[in-house]
Structures are given as structure tokens and as C-alpha cells.
């Protein structure tokens, strides 16, 4: 199969003609980038805040580990299940319009999270947040892919990746400080950010797929969440009552989803996209890398507070160096991938990321930040800077511009599904359940084992990249 060049000009998209092929040097281009970054930052910020807030939520609402898992997984389940629908709606109805709908919905759902009186209602509100995020998230990258000139797309995506480091850096610090006062305040912060996103969005160019038509894939819409919910419930509750039945339901629904996509006239996940070797390989790499990221961040936040005895602010601030490094380096590596190819920086980045996770696995029960946490966190930042922008740019470049919404939706769905399954499976794999997350030495053992699992998953991603992508000189 002919390799897809990263800088190849693709078919024009309705609403993204030559006149709206923006450049990063243009004022309008910088504003579009700011819109995409702030919208995505809203979602990223909320995710980091949720992780830092988990121990305080568990104490105030008297929740067990399974309940805390569902605070994260309820949100991720809705997002992963519906993000393909969000990407498809953006392609059909307008990416700017659907992006705005998601922003408004996310703000309203955040209010429900902030006032939830029980763990059950909190999880329900987080599910609604996930539904709104499914409309917002794929539109962010689709706006960049459709709006920017082909020569600037990888740079814009790299800048998007690096600037999101501000939100990712600010999330743990701001969230940790607010959680230290009251974890509910940490979710109220979404309202002013959402208002800023809507203000920036006013001048963004609209784009859509002029060829998108036909009925929606109702079977896919129903089967995807059933499959993910069944598998996630089984992993979270295993070996409790109902877990085997949930696993069977999830697997059967998953198989039915694949069959339905192959026979649907307008599938939610077009099988023909996976005819591209690059698209398929990059999504597999995404699965393993983002499973490692979600699992490691989940356990690091709990370990630093429960075992190490750090405050929420201190635990949140520990990961700031990751974001700072990405802020300065991710755009440069995006440009490098445009000029020289994505394979080398992706493989190198995965290896560095795995080394960082391995260093974190060696931390003692009472870690010193400079000696035991900072080196691993810095390696994480370097690895992600090399890996994320080329990965994201390559998966979007592997499809025509007219399908950028659904391609972004698929890749986001894969990353969110990876996080969903990792957070559900890792406690089972490392033997943590019930109220064990309140016991420092049990959390420490589970944390170290989880970091080794995550490092192994990243190495699988490196191997898939090395084998699945052609050498950079051949791709150019």
C-alpha cells in the first residue's frame, strides 16, 4: 500500500477552501488554535482534577474503590462510546456548531457534578459530562485539520499538544489547591473556561463534509456503549456477582458491533478507513500508549496522597514538569515529523516514556520529589513530546480531509477506551479492591505493580510503531 505522506494536500473540505486555509502566522490562525486548545483544555483540566479529587470524594461520600473507579469510568465510558457520534455529527452538521454544543453541555453537566450529594448521583453527572465531551473533543482536532493549510497542520497539532500542557499543568496545581479547600469548587471552575471557549469560537471558520449524508448508524450507537459498559463493569466488579454475565454481554455486543459496522450503509466506524495500514497501526499504538497514561496517572495520584501522605496540591503539582516539557518541545517534534517522518520520534518517544514509568515504579513509600519522582516525570514529558504530536498528525493525515471528524473521533474513542479499560483492569491485575485504597502499604504495592504494567504497554506500542510504519526515508 502506498504510504500516506504527512504533508500531502488532501481533498478540500466544505468551509475550508483556500481562503480559509489558515497559517500559524495569521491572527485568525492563532485564534483558531487558541479556540481548539482552550476547548480541549477544558476536558483535560477536568480529567486531572477528577484524579486528584478521588481520595477526598471517597472520604466525603463514603465510597469504595469501585465507586471511585466509576467516577472516572462513567465519564470515560460515555465519552468513548459517543465520541464517534460526535465526530460524525461535526462532519454532517458543522464542526464549529457541534463543538459549541459540546462546550455548553459540558458546563451545565459540571454544575451537576459540583452539587451531587451522593456517589451515585455524582457518577450519573459524570456520565452527562462524558456525553457533552463526546461532542466537544473530536471537533477540536477536526477544526485544526480542516482550517489550516497542509504545510502548517502538523505544526498546529504540535502546538495544540504543547499548549495543552498549560491546561494539564494547571489542572493538578489548580485542582489540587481547590480540592484542598473543597473538591466541589474544582468543578465550578469549568464554567468561566467554557465561557471563554464560546467567546473564542465566534470567529472560527465553519467546515463540514459535503459528502456526508444518509441515516445515522443506530445499531452502532446502541451496541458500542453496551459493549464497553459490559466489559468495564465485569473488570471493575470481578469476581463479584454479575461480573461473568456482564463480561458475556460486553463481548457479544462487541462482536455484534463489528458485524454491524461491516454491513451498515453509513457505519459509525467506517471499516474502509482501516484499509489504511497507517491508520490501523497508529490506532493500535494509541490503545497501548493511552492505556498506560491513564492507568499510571490514576495510581500516581492515589499513591502520592494515601501512601506518601502528600496533600492534593502537592500530588497534583508533582506532574507539572510533564506539561512544562511538552509545552516547549511538542511543537518542535511535530515540525520534525513533518520534515523527516513520524516513525523515529514515535519509537524514541515510547522508549523514553517507558523508562520514565520504570523509574516511577522504583519510588519508596516515602518518596523524595527530587530523587524519586522528578526524574521519572521529566522522562515522561520528553517521551510524550516526541510521541503525541507525530501520532496525532499521522492518524489524521492517513484519511482524506473530508473524514477528519470521524477519524479524530475514532482515534479519540480508542484513546478513551484505552483509559477506560486500564482503570477498570489495573486494580484487578495488581490486587487492589474494596477499601484497600485507604491502606498505605497496599496502595504502594499496587502502585509499583501498575507502573510496570504501564511501562510494558508502552513498549508494545513502540514495537507496533517500529514494525507497522515504514522507515521515514521511504515515507518521504
Residue of higher predicted confidence among 296 and 327: 296
229 and 250 Cβ atoms separated by less than 8 Å: yes
Q: For residue range 204-213, what is the model confidence (pLDDT) as tens digits?
A: 777 766 665 5
Q: What is the pLDDT of residue 8?
A: 29
Average pLDDT over residues 31-46: 80
DSSP summary character for residue 69: H
Portion of the chain with pLDDT greater than 90, in percent: 15
Q: In this predicted model, which residue has the larger pLDDT, 421 or 88? A: 421
Determine the longest span between alpha carbons in the chain, in angstroms.
61
Identify the sign of the CA torsion 114, 120, 125, 129: positive
Return the pLDDT at 179: 76
User: Residue for cell digits 526524574?
Assistant: 375
Kind and range of the H or E run holding 54: helix 27-61
pLDDT number for residue 263: 80
- Look at residue 405 in the predicted model and tell me its pLDDT: 61
Sign of the alpha-carbon torsion through 191, 300, 243, 81 = positive
Average of per-residue pLDDT across 356-380: 92
* Range with lowest mean pLDDT among 44-48, 276-280, 442-446: 44-48
Question: Residue 322: is the preceding peptide bond cis (ω within 30°)?
Answer: no
Would residue 148 be called left, alpha or beta, if left means φ above 0 and alpha means ψ between -120 and 50 degrees? beta
Q: What is the mean pLDDT of the chain?
A: 78
Residue 127 has pLDDT above 70, yes or no: yes
Alpha-helical regions (H) of 264-342: 277-306, 312-317, 320-340
Give the least confident one: 117-121, 285-289, 309-313, 443-447: 309-313
Which pLDDT score, from 0 to 100, does residue 12 have? 32
By C-alpha distance, which of 82, 58, 59 is closest to 70?
58
DSSP notation for 128-159? HHHHHHHHHHHHHHHHHHHHB-HHHHHHHHHH
Q: How many helices (H) and strands (E) does the chain have?
A: 17, 0
Residue 167 has pLDDT above 70, yes or no: no
Mean pLDDT of 287-303: 89
Calculate the dihedral angle through the C-alpha atoms of 299, 300, 304, 308, rounding to the nearest 10 degrees.
80
| Exposure on the CB side of residue 44, measured as CA atoms within 13 A | 24
Residue pair 160/175 in contact (Cβ under 8 Å)? The answer is no
Q: How far apart are alpha carbons 168 and 183 in whole angstroms?
A: 18
pTM over 0.75: no
403's grid cell: 473524514
381's grid cell: 514529558
Least confident of 164-173, 235-244, 314-323: 164-173
User: Average pLDDT in the 20-28 region?
Assistant: 69
pLDDT of residue 289: 93
Amino acid at each position: 500500500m502506498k504510504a500516506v505522506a504527512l504533508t500531502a494536500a488532501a481533498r478540500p473540505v466544505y468551509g475550508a477552501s483556500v481562503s480559509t486555509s489558515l497559517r500559524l502566522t495569521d491572527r485568525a490562525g492563532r485564534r483558531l488554535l487558541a479556540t481548539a486548545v482552550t476547548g480541549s483544555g477544558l476536558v483535560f483540566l477536568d480529567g486531572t482534577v477528577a484524579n486528584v479529587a478521588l481520595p477526598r470524594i471517597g472520604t466525603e461520600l463514603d465510597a469504595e474503590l469501585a465507586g471511585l473507579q466509576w467516577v472516572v469510568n462513567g465519564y470515560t465510558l460515555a465519552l468513548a462510546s459517543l465520541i464517534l457520534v460526535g465526530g460524525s455529527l461535526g462532519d454532517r452538521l458543522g464542526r464549529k456548531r457541534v463543538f459549541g454544543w459540546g462546550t455548553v453541555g459540558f458546563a451545565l453537566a459540571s454544575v451537576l457534578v459540583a452539587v451531587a450529594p451522593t456517589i451515585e448521583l455524582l457518577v450519573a453527572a459524570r456520565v452527562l459530562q462524558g456525553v457533552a465531551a463526546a461532542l466537544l473533543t473530536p471537533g477540536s482536532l477536526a477544526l485544526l485539520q480542516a482550517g489550516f493549510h497542509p504545510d502548517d497542520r502538523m505544526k498546529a497539532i504540535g502546538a495544540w499538544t504543547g499548549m495543552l500542557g498549560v491546561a494539564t499543568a494547571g489542572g493538578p496545581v489548580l485542582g489540587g489547591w481547590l480540592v484542598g479547600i473543597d473538591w466541589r469548587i474544582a468543578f465550578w471552575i469549568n464554567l468561566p473556561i467554557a465561557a471563554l471557549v464560546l467567546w473564542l469560537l465566534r470567529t472560527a471558520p465553519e467546515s463540514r463534509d459535503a459528502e456526508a449524508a444518509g441515516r445515522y448508524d443506530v445499531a452502532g450507537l446502541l451496541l458500542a456503549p453496551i459493549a464497553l459498559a459490559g466489559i468495564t463493569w465485569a473488570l471493575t466488579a470481578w469476581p463479584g456477582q454479575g461480573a461473568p454475565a456482564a463480561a458475556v454481554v460486553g463481548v457479544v455486543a462487541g462482536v455484534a458491533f463489528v458485524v454491524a459496522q461491516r454491513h451498515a450503509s453509513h457505519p459509525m466506524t467506517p471499516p474502509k478507513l482501516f484499509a489504511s495500514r497507517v491508520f490501523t497501526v497508529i490506532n493500535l499504538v494509541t490503545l497501548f500508549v493511552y492505556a498506560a497514561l491513564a492507568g499510571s496517572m490514576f495510581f500516581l495520584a492515589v499513591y502520592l496522597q494515601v501512601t506518601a501522605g502528600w496533600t492534593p496540591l502537592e500530588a497534583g503539582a508533582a506532574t507539572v514538569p510533564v506539561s512544562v516539557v511538552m509545552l516547549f518541545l511538542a511543537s518542535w517534534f511535530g515540525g520534525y515529523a513533518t520534515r523527516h517522518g513520524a516513525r523515529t520520534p514515535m519509537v524514541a518517544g515510547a522508549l523514553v516514556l517507558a523508562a520514565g514509568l520504570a523509574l516511577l515504579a522504583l519510588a519508596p513509600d516515602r518518596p523524595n520529589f527530587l530523587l524519586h519522582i522528578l526524574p521519572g516525570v521529566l522522562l515522561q514529558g520528553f517521551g510524550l513530546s516526541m510521541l503525541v504530536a507525530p501520532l496525532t498528525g499521522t492518524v489524521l493525515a492517513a484519511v482524506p480531509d473530508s473524514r477528519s471528524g470521524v477519524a479524530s473521533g475514532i482515534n479519540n474513542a480508542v484513546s478513551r477506551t484505552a483509559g477506560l479499560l486500564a482503570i477498570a483492569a489495573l486494580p484487578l491485575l495488581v490486587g487492589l479492591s474494596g477499601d484497600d485504597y485507604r491502606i498505605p502499604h497496599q496502595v504502594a504495592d499496587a502502585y509499583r505493580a501498575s507502573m510496570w504494567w504501564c511501562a510494558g504497554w508502552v513498549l508494545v506500542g513502540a514495537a507496533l510503531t517500529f514494525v507497522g510504519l515504514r522507515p521515514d526515508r521511504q515515507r518521504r
